[in-house]
Amino acid sequence: MLLFIWAGVFRMRNIFLVLLIGLSAFAKTDLSGNWASECNLIDKHSFKSKIVFKGATEKVEFKLFEDAKCLDHSLTVVYEAIFITGAKFGEGKKFNSLPTKVQMSVHLPAVLEQFNKTDSEDGCGIKNWKLNIAQDVSGKFCRPFKMPSVGKTVYDMFKLNLNSLVFGGLPTKWDMSDPTVRPDKLSKVEFWIEKNK
């Protein structure tokens, strides 16, 4: 009789494990796909960002707006990289990316004029900006951002929630080239998977 009860418990445990493994197959286990943030405030401005993960590559498109409602699009930063994820760290997991492209484009005449002024601290130290023409800003200070450098690892962290993705620094903190100061807390900026992409 005892042997029969023990066999029944063992069978129930196996059924539970099979169910658990089956359910975990439905959970999203990687970052693949197109992710987009909603409109977020940053000082007197606002921004939206998109991230596309395909294989081991990452492409971030960060759009800055002059107003607080993501209407008056002033500039775009495009960041491309090769990434890897790692062990649990802080509120999420390690996320390292190696930039292959860091570019910025200006879209408003008023911003273009400000960037090209010789006495202005704006414009990443570049004074030949043209509307909608991308410039290489790898490693440059583009107030208020210190841009990442091509070929120099960016050390961040991330958490993949049920429906959203959150980083520690990206997309508003770019100068994370020191692994000892990797963020351990998540930012408030959430990315949501885009459907039908």
pLDDT in tens, 114-150: 999 999 999 999 999 999 999 999 999 998 889 999 9
Asked if the structure places residue 174 within a domain, the reply is: yes
Query: Domains in the chain: how many in total?
Result: 1
Asked if the structure places residue 25 within a domain, the reply is: no
One pLDDT digit (tens) per residue for the chain, 197 residues: 444 444 444 454 444 333 333 333 333 448 999 999 999 999 899 999 999 999 999 999 999 999 999 999 999 999 999 999 999 999 999 999 999 999 999 999 999 999 999 999 999 999 999 999 999 999 999 988 899 999 999 999 999 998 899 999 999 998 899 999 999 999 999 999 997 65
Q: What are the angstrom distances between the C-alpha of 150 and each of 11, 72, 97, 172? A: 55, 29, 10, 17
Asked if the structure places residue 98 within a domain, the reply is: yes
The sign of the CA dihedral 71, 166, 51, 193 is: negative
Asked if the structure places residue 7 within a domain, the reply is: no
Segments forming the whole domain that contains residue 86? 30-193
Asked if the structure places residue 175 within a domain, the reply is: yes
Asked if the structure places residue 11 within a domain, the reply is: no
Asked if the structure places residue 18 within a domain, the reply is: no
Asked if the structure places residue 15 within a domain, the reply is: no
